[in-house]
Structure formats: C-alpha cells, structure tokens
Chains A and B, each alone.
Chain A
Amino acid sequence: MNLISRGVRNAFRSPTRTVAVVLILCLTIGLSFVMLVGQKSVENKISDTLATLGTTVNITPSGYANGSSQNNHLTTSQLKAVARLPHIVNLAEALPDGLRTGKTAAETSLLPASSGEPVGFVGTNEPTQASVIGASTLKIVAGKAIDGNGDTDEAMVSSAMAQRNHLKVGAAFHAYDTVFTIEAIFTSDTANGNDSVIVPLATEQRLSHRPGEVISAVATVDSLTNLSAATAAISMTLAPAAEGTSDVAQADQALAPLESVKSLSLYSLFGAVGTAALIIFLVMVMTVRERKREVGTMKAIGGANSSIVYQFMTEALTLAALGGAAGIIVGALTASSITSSLIAGNDKTTGSARSSTALQHLTQVHATATLPEVLIGLAGVLAIAAVGSAAASYLTSRIQPAEALRSE
C-alpha cells in the first residue's frame, strides 16, 4: 500500500463522515456549477444577441410618423455632416415617393407584386441596401445594380413585380410621365420591399420636385463597440431636426435582466466556490486535528512532512472528486431550470423593449453544461481541495512529533 492508496482509503475511513462530506460538497459544488453554467449561458446569449443587432443607425426627422403629411424632412447637405462623423463607414439616404400616400399625381403603369398595396418608388444613393425598402435582405438576381449617385431614368424592380408585369431586364415602364428602363431585378424578404421600385436618389428628388430632400437615412458604424457613441454623435449633429436610433438602445433595456442574472450568477459562483473551499478546509482541519496522534506516529517512524501532507491531500482530493462529480451531475441536470427561474425572476422589461427581431426570445436561455465547463468545474474543485487540505495538514505536520504524540 502506498501513500496514494492510503490517502484514498482514509477518505472512506468513516462512512458517515464520508457520506456527509460528499453530500455537502455535492450541494455547494452543484450550486457553483449551476452558477458557472448559468453565467456562461447568459453571457453567450448576450453576446449572440448583440452580434445579431447589426451596426446600423436609423436616422429619421424628429416626430416623423408614417403616412403623415405634416412630417419634416432632412436634406442631403445635413446628412453630409453625418457622413463625415468618425466611425461612419456608409450612409444610405432614401426618399420614398408619394405614390403610396397619394401625395403626388404621378401615375405608373406598374402593377404591385401583391394585391392591395400600391407600388412605391424609393430614391436612394445605396440601391443595394435592404433597409431603404424596409427589408432585411436585398439580392440582385438579374442585371446590374443602378448607380444611386446618378440622375438617370433607370430602375430596379423586384422579381415578383417583374413577373406580374411581364418585365425583364432592359424592359421599360412609365412613371412620373417618364419612361424608366429596368436595369436590375432583385428579391427581398418583405412584401413592402417587393412592391418597391428603386431609382437613383437625385432622379426621385427631380421627378417628385423635392430637390435635396431626404426622408430617412441609415448610417453604418464600423463596429458594435462604437455604435452607442456614433448614435449619440448623429443625434447631436442633426438635433433638433432629426434623431438617430439603433437597436443598441433597445438592447440595453432588454438585456438588463440578463445582465442582472449574469452578475447574480457570478457573485453566487464566488460565494458557492468560497463556501466549498471553506468546507473542504474546515473538514480537513478537523480531520487532521482528529488524527494528530497518527501524524505524530507517522513522523516518529520517519514520515516526512511532505508525505504526510500528500496523504491528506489525496484524502481531500478523493472526497472532493466524489462530491465534485456528484455536484456536477446535479448541477448539469438543474442548470437550465434554475437559470430560467433566475431570468424570469429578474425580467421586468416591457414588451416594447423587444420590438427588434434580434431581441425576441431574449429570455429563453437554454443553459447546458459544456465539456470545457465540466473540466473547469472539476479542476477548480480539485485545486480548492488540494490547497485546502495542504494548508490544513501542513500546519499540523510542522509540529514536533512528540507534541503530536502527546495529543489525545
């Protein structure tokens, strides 16, 4: 029998003590593991959510309301100042026509892609940007995108509209008493997008007699990190005429309960790990004190301090490994439900805070233990046990053997 097998056997010396210690460790380590898994899962959810938010800022005139005839508008010159701001990498300006609202007398020969909605014209300097037609995707499927900075009678129509009107690339149609040539056909993911005709911004401004006018713009920021600062800078530049809004503002509010759970999990993790460490240390202090005489005997027959420390460390590691394995199993089984309960208990966000698609289902966090987390958990438990038992046994192993032998 060697030092390690003696240490392992000592762990089972008193079955009652072994069961009690393993049970207590199981609970504290299980709680630590739940908090570790919960904290990681919430952290991943937050970063995943932020990653899907995009780095765009929507710019609209102050008090703008869809369909209102009292709306203010922006100008191309105002937006030039925005384009010069730091971290702005792209600025897509849009001027929707009045066909949908009946604001102009212009007529078009085109039929809408879907029945019910009229055809809408959008003038833009960025004809391939989906946001200008209220869509999240825009893909050219035939022809070549028009030059948004030009002033030509060229247009892009959706494939659904082209199909309904029997049009192809190079075909012509009428609008604003002008003959437009179809340069490209695109697909988008919204009905509104499919009912849109995209023309150059200057063309729309000329034909609708609104020179220099822009109704909305979308600024793209170089990174998510700079989004909040850029949004604030845009609002400040355009104030009081217009304001910039991004998903980040909504996200901050919507993510608040998750941030709260993340902090709670982190503090609980420290608390539970600290408790587990204290339990192991105190158990080993009691164990070593109980066996002080045995330590004296070991020293009397020539046992070195290090071998005494290693023997107690093996004993503590055995108990911690058992408690840790049981705790991790319990933690893995309960992590998801405990995390969900914590989130539900902290979620006071109103539905309006989650109007963005990216923020839907935000509180549905599925906390599952991954292999790295299991390994981190086990390594942490064993490290705590090693340090706790080494400290406790080292204090006793340093005393004179005669003193240890005199103890009862």
Chain B
Amino acid sequence: MLETKQVTKSFRSGNSTVTAVNGVTMTVADGEFVTIVGRSGSGKSTLMNLLGGLEQPTSGTIRVNSDDITRLSDSQLNDYRTRGVGFVFQSYNLIPNLDALENVMLPMELVRVSKTDRRKRARDLLNQVELTGGKQSRRPGRLSGGEQQRVAIARALANQPNLILADEPAGNLDSETADTIVELLRTLAHSQDTTVIVVTHDDEMAKRSDRTFRLIDGCLNEGGIVPQ
C-alpha cells in the first residue's frame, strides 16, 4: 500500500518560492491501476518523482508498505528505487548504446542477479511486452517509439517491483500504440498484483484506470478522487 500525508514540494525560483505539490494526501492499494491527471505544470511529474524517491518532499510523509521513504538514507533510497519501484518515462530514457535486452538486464545487474538469469528474465519480459526476435538485440535508436516504450516497461518490471510509476507513458505515441501500452500496464497491475500509477493529461486514459486523481496547481481535488 502507498500512502501520502500532506506532501508538499517547493522550489526556489529566483527570489520567490514555487510550490509544485501542495499538501497531497492519497492512498493507493496494492494491485490498483491509478491515474493522476492534470494540466501541464500542475505538479504531476513532481508528485511522481516524490513517490518514486527521485527527490525529497519539503514536508509530509510518503509510506510504501509502512516504510516512510522520506526518512530513508541515500543507500536505503537507492535500494528502494532498485527493488521497490519501476519507472516508465515519457521519453523512455533508455541507455542509447545498450540494446533492448541489455537495457532490461541493467536493473538486475544492480541487484547482482547472475548474468544467465538476468538474460533469461530479460528475454521473458521482452516477450511479455511483445518485443520479440531480432528487435531484442536492437539499440533504442533502431526501435520505434512504441517499441522503445515496451522496452522501458520491461525494464521497469525487471526487479519485480511492487510499484510501477509511469510518467506520460503514451505521451509520445500514436493513439493505437498508446492504447496498447495502457492495456499492458492495466494487465500488469491486475495479473501481477503490482500497483501502477500513471501520470497523464489524457482523460481517455484516465477512464480506463481503476481510480483517477486530479491535480490542479499542486493540489488534489476535494477528496482526491474523481468519480468515473
């Protein structure tokens, strides 16, 4: 379970302070497929970074399975990002000089999975996201946007995390490919009991999630939940 209480994140901008996330309180259960919608600049990506331990909140607590990740040391936070969370970014963020298979193997190397095991698991994951055959040995530059996003999803799943955070995963994709990616994430959540939180500005995608949170100027709407 993921639970945030009064999470706020402020940045210094010149002489003024900008509050990107303002007192967000939310709870997401295991295996839920949740979307966070909001306009550009509403604080969605910042909230995602806070949930994933990529940056620390100015105040508030974030509990993941009862552990407060805002109190973790650097190495504990590192461990949380390696084993507890899988990230899917809008611009994929694959390592350009590694092929698809090597990109998926990379997180497993960090937790010292043997080379044979990580190769086998990476192949299985790529097959699962339907990137098969010779495409697995292609570098990102020789894959389409949809294919790159599949690799990114496979990489996010590499260490079997409890939480997948996807920041605009279909933002750069055509509608058909976007549908496929969303369906893939939904299936993951429901079939593997993995919590999936997707940040999007696309209301259509939000309609396909179990729950949707709407973020306006850093604040969740009343109750935090938008009834479908």
Contacts and interface: CB of A to CB of B under 8 A. Distances in A.
Interface of A: 1-3, 6, 9-10, 13, 293-294, 296-305, 307, 400-403, 405
B81 interface: yes
Contacts of B75: 304
By secondary structure, the A interface counts as helix
Contacts of A303: 78, 110
B109 interface: yes
A9 B111 CA distance: 21
B54 A302 contact: no
Contacts of B83: 302
Interface stretch (B94-102, B128-136, B172-180, B210-218): B94-102
A300 B54 contact: yes
A2 B111 CA distance: 12
A329 to B, nearest CB: 28
Given A301-B81, A301-B107, A402 B97 contact: no
Contacts of A304: 75, 78, 110
21 contacts: A1-B105, A6-B98, A13-B97, A294-B95, A297-B93, A297-B94, A299-B54, A299-B81, A300-B81, A300-B87, A301-B87, A301-B107, A302-B78, A302-B110, A302-B111, A304-B78, A305-B74, A400-B55, A402-B46, A402-B49, A403-B55
B51 to A, nearest CB: 11
B33 to A, nearest CB: 21
B45 to A, nearest CB: 8
Nearest to A6: B98
A294 B49 CA distance: 16
Interface of B: 46, 49, 52, 54-56, 74-75, 78-79, 81-83, 87, 89, 93-98, 102, 105-107, 109-111, 155, 159
Nearest to B9: A402
A10 B94 CA distance: 14
A400 B81 CA distance: 13
Contacts of A298: 95
A400 B54 contact: yes
Contacts of B97: 9-10, 13
Contacts of A301: 81-82, 87, 106-107, 110, 155
A401 B55 contact: yes
A1 B95 CA distance: 13
Given A1-B102, A300-B87, A401 B54 contact: yes
